[in-house]
């Protein structure tokens, strides 16, 4: 394998870790209450603007913007749950779709109104430099974003599987009535899930903003990737989102390198359709 | 300790129970008998707060609890081991037990309660790391009871603990209930196996199509010709 090919694969893995991070938020919400959050991409978008504001007003980079965006978005997620989602959870699917889609439009046009339609970006040197590892050259911004994304996704998985809070959340996900018999308040756990999912989207957005353009509609593009990742990995599975995210990142990078950047989406979606056809429950979902 | 008066529960237009009244005294072991569809599960679920009562009173230790959410009722010391066990099948045996301890005000009691449940059901200790969904019926029943005991309830409600289990397992399960009762736990249990329940309970109520139609000391009901004919296949 040539060094260039390795570099393409490494770049794909780093991007894939970010896909995994924001897809794991989407999959968590689905797993907890069978709600598809159409505003998830716009959560990422809002985090990118948060990161921009942090740089503009405080002059600070990801060390500040990542925790700030995580907190801001976690708050947005919890407020969205109590103000909106809780009321449509038992409503027909179409009401849920309209509610979260409405939230997406609200966020998108709120940002559009306040910041305008111009593409914004953070200075290239905010996370400066390029690392050279065994002849593979990787920009520091992407390396940082990929590494943090991987850690946070793993952390989310550990939180769900190794802590009492995670155990209670999974209990609500599996059987809400039985969870109530344990003294667990389902609404609280669901609010926590929205806080975690939106917080994860917040971290992803702040990281992506260090090397990607920022616009009110950027969430749309990212949401599509997240939906493909979640369906591929299996709805409700964080490890599935991780594997699928990394896979999609690498496939995108490789097809951009071999066939051309314009065609990479076609390759990704063809693969997506093929997997759904052969394994509708996703790679790691339960049948 | 628990008093249910003229309980009515509706499922939409259908009636789950029409008129059920019962009393569970402190330290008692009371059986709720009746054939399939009589309204036993509906009654227990309404007491536990899983389904709303459309009319009637439910008092626990002198306090009205009808209309309170299930998570608040279990915190008052009233636990239910529900029909069909309703275990968290994706989680380990021990996680299920720890979840059962959520209502505890003093979390430092958890290790003692866990040790206590493992002492009652040594089988659960052997399987502590196993996923609940992979266990046998008897083990699931043990886990459902153990999980309910983890909240250290003052009143334990058991919904058909014999359902689907082999006779030998049922027998030992009931002996365990008997020991818990002797140790001071108040128990209300729903059962279709009338003979078995009357052997262990000290008082019983008979439900028929959503109404409590007969009640009395277990020994008296066991001698009742009607009960013998309808539920025990005697006479
Ligand atoms: N979820 C439900 N929806 C509608 N009707 C129900 C439901 N659950 C029970 N019922 C009805 O309520 C009555 C009592 O049922 P149940 O309480 O389950 O009886 P038991 O536990 O004694 O077998 C039955 O007629 C049953 O068909
Ligand atoms: Mg029943």
- Hey, are the CB atoms on A184 and B151 less than 8 Å from each other? no
Ligand 1 atom with the smallest distance to the CA of B159 is 21
What pLDDT score was predicted for residue B214? Answer: 87
Using the Cβ of B155 and the Cβ atoms of chain A, whether some distance falls under 8 Å is answered with no
**Distance (Å) from the C-alpha of residue B39 to the closest C-alpha of chain A?**
19
| Residues in CB range of A33: below 8 A, 6 or more apart | A89, A173, A190, A193
Binned at pLDDT 50, 70 and 90, residue A286 comes out as low
| Dist. CA B84 → ligand 1 center (Å) | 14
Task: Give A31-72 pLDDT, tens digit per residue.
Answer: 888 888 999 999 999 999 999 999 999 999 999 999 999 999
Nearest CA to ligand 1 atom 11: B16
Chain A interface includes B100 (CB < 8 A): yes
Which of B71, B91, B151 lies at the smallest CB-CB distance from A180? B71
Distance between CA atoms of residues B185 and A1, nearest Å: 70
Q: Angle of helix A140-162 relative to helix A3-33, nearest 10 degrees?
A: 30
Ligand 2 centre distance from Cα of residue B144 (Å): 15
CB distance from B75 to chain A under 8 Å? yes
Most confidently predicted of A87-101, A147-161, A220-234, B217-231? A147-161
Q: Which of B20, B41, B157, B212 has the most ligand 1 atoms within 8 A of CB, as the residue to mutate?
A: B41
Cα–chain center distance at A109: 20
Cα–Cα dist A141/A130, whole Å: 8
Chain B residues with beta carbon closer than 8 angstroms to that of A170: 88, 90-91
pLDDT of res. B235: 47
Helix (H, G, I), strand (E, B) or coil at B103: coil
Instruction: Give the per-residue pLDDT at A129.
Output: 81
Domain boundaries, given as residue ranges, for chain B: 1-77+153-235, 87-152
CA separation for the pair A150, A77 (Å, rounded):
21
The strand pairing partners of B211, in sequence order, are: B19, B208
How many angstroms away from the CA of A110 is the closest CA of chain B?
38
Laid out side by side, the sheet with B186-191 consists of: B63-64, B55-60, B2-11, B14-24, B211-217, B203-208, B29-33, B186-191, B155-159, B78-81
DSSP class of A126: G
pLDDT at A222: 86
Longest dimension (CA), chain B: 55
pLDDT of residue B234: 56
Burial of B19 (0-12, 13-18, 19+ CB in 10 A): middle
Beta-carbon contacts of residue B174 (< 8 Å; ≥ 6 apart): B161, B162, B196, B199, B200
How many whole angstroms separate alpha carbon B81 and alpha carbon B148?
6
Contact criterion met (CB < 8 Å) for A181 and B69: no
| CA–CA separation, B162 and B166 (whole Å) | 8
Nearest CB neighbour to A174, from listed B80, B82, B89: B89
Whether B78 contacts chain A with CB within 8 A: no
> Cβ(B20)–Cβ(B39) under 8 Å?
yes
**Which residues lie with the beta carbon below 6 Å from any ligand 1 atom?**
B 11, 14, 16, 34, 36-42
The residue among B48, B70, B94 with the most chain A CBs within 10 A of its CB, best to mutate, is B70
Residues linked to residue B7 through DSSP beta bridges, in sequence order? B20
Interaxial angle between packed helices A186-208 and A140-162, expressed in degrees from 0 to 180 and rounded to the nearest 10: 170
* C-alpha span between B188 and B214 (Å, rounded): 16
pLDDT of residue B84: 92
Q: Looking at the complex, report in whole angstroms how far the Cα of residue B223 sits from the nearest Cα belonging to chain A.
A: 36
Question: How far lies B195's CA from each of A4, A92, B3, B41, B233, in Å?
Answer: 78, 46, 25, 19, 10
Residue B51 with chain A: CB contacts under 8 Å: none
Residues 6+ apart with CB under 8 A from B139: B123, B124, B127
Residue B91 tokens read as: 């989680």
Residues of chain A with Cβ-Cβ distance to B103 below 8 Å are: 182-183
CA dihedral over B115, B119, B125, B128, signed as positive or negative: negative
pLDDT value at residue B33: 93
Per-residue pLDDT reduced to its tens digit, A230-284: 888 887 789 999 999 999 999 999 988 888 877 877 887 887 788 778 877 777 7
Q: How many CB atoms lie within 10 A of CB A107?
A: 21
Provide the shortest C-alpha distance from residue A31 to chain B (in Å). Answer: 13
Cβ distance A171 to B91 less than 8 Å, yes or no, reads: yes
CB atoms within 10 A of CB A158: 12
B10 touches chain A (CB under 8 A): no
CATH placement of domain B1-77+153-235: 3.40.50.300
- What pTM was estimated for this model as a whole? 0.91
Token pair 């809780």 is found at: A86
What's the pLDDT at A272? 78
- As a residue count, chain B comes to 235
d(CA B147, CA B162): 17
ipTM here: 0.93
pLDDT tens digit at each of 235 positions of chain B: 999 999 999 999 999 999 999 999 999 999 999 989 999 999 999 999 999 999 999 999 999 999 999 999 999 999 999 999 999 999 999 999 999 999 998 999 999 999 999 999 999 999 999 999 999 999 999 999 999 999 999 999 999 999 888 888 899 999 999 999 999 999 999 998 888 888 899 999 999 989 988 888 988 888 887 777 777 665 4
User: Model confidence over A97-148: pLDDT tens digits?
Assistant: 999 999 999 999 999 999 999 999 998 888 878 888 777 888 899 999 999 9
CB atoms within 10 A of CB A71: 14
Q: How far is the CA of B43 from the centre of ligand 2 (A)?
A: 9
Structure-block tokens of residue A112: 């559009």
d(CA B108, CA B113): 10
pLDDT bucket at A287, cuts 50 / 70 / 90:
very low
d(CA A99, CA A109): 15
Identify the pLDDT of residue A68: 98
Contacts of A140 (CB under 8 A, 6+ apart): A127, A128, A129, A130, A131
Kindly state whether B109 is in contact with chain A, defined as any CB-CB distance less than 8 angstroms. Answer: no
Relative to the CA of B160, which ligand 1 atom is closest? Answer: 21
Residue A177 vs residue B232, higher pLDDT: A177
* Cβ burial, residue B140 (10 Å; 0-12/13-18/19+): buried
- Give the residue from B185, B179, B183 showing the smallest Cα distance to B149: B185
The 3-class SS string of B52-94 reads CCCEEEEEECCEECCCCCHHHHHHCCEEEECCCCCCCCCCEHH
Q: Which domains does chain A have, with CATH numbers?
A: 3-278 (1.10.3470)
């Amino acid at each position: 394998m040539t060094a260039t090919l390795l570099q393409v694969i490494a770049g794909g893995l780093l991007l894939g870790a970010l896909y995994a991070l924001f897809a794991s938020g989407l999959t968590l919400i689905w797993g907890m209450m069978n709600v598809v959050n159409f505003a998830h991409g716009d959560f990422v978008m809002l985090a990118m603007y948060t990161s921009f504001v942090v740089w503009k007003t405080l002059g600070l980079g990801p060390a500040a913007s990542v925790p700030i965006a995580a907190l801001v978005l976690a708050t947005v997620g919890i407020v969205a749950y109590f103000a909106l989602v809780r009321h449509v959870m038992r409503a027909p699917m179409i009401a849920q779709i309209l509610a979260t889609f409405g939230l997406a439009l609200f966020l998108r046009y709120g940002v559009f109104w306040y910041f305008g339609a111009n593409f914004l970006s953070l200075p290239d040197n905010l996370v400066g430099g390029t690392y050279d590892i065994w002849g593979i050259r990787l920009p520091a911004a992407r390396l940082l974003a990929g590494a943090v994304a991987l850690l946070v996704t793993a952390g989310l998985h550990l939180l769900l599987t190794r802590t009492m809070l995670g155990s209670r959340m999974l209990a609500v996900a599996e059987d809400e009535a039985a969870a109530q018999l344990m003294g667990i308040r389902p609404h609280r756990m669901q609010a926590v899930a929205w806080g975690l999912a939106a917080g994860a989207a917040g971290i992803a957005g702040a990281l992506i903003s260090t090397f990607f353009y920022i616009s009110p509609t950027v969430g749309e593009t990212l949401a599509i990737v997240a939906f493909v990742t979640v369906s591929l990995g299996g709805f409700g599975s964080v490890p599935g989102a991780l594997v699928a995210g990394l896979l999609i990142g690498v496939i995108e990078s490789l097809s951009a390198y071999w066939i051309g950047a314009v065609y990479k989406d076609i390759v990704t979606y063809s693969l997506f359709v093929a997997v759904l056809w052969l394994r509708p429950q996703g790679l790691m979902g339960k049948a | 300790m628990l008093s249910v008066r003229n309980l009515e529960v509706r499922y939409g237009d259908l009636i789950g129970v029409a008129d059920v009244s019962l009393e569970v005294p402190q330290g008692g072991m009371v059986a709720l008998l009746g054939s399939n569809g009589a309204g036993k599960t509906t009654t227990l679920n309404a007491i536990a707060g899983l389904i709303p009562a459309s009319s009637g009173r439910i008092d626990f230790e002198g306090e009205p609890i009808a209309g309170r959410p299930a998570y608040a009722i279990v915190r008052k010391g009233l636990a239910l081991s529900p029909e069909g066990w309703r275990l968290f099948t994706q989680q380990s045996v021990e996680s299920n037990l720890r979840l059962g301890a959520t209502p505890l005000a003093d979390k430092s009691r958890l290790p003692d309660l866990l040790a206590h449940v493992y002492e009652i059901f040594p089988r659960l200790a052997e399987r502590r790391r196993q996923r609940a969904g992979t266990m046998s019926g008897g083990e699931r029943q043990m886990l459902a009871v153990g999980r309910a005991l983890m909240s250290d309830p003052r009143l334990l409600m058991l919904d058909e603990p014999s359902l689907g289990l082999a006779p030998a397992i049922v027998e030992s399960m009931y002996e365990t209930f008997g020991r818990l009762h002797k140790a001071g736990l108040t128990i209300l249990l729903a059962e279709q196996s009338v003979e078995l329940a009357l052997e262990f309970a000290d008082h019983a109520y008979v439900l028929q199509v959503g109404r409590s139609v007969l009640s009395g000391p277990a020994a008296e009901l066991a001698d009742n010709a009607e009960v013998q004919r309808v539920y025990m296949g005697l006479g």
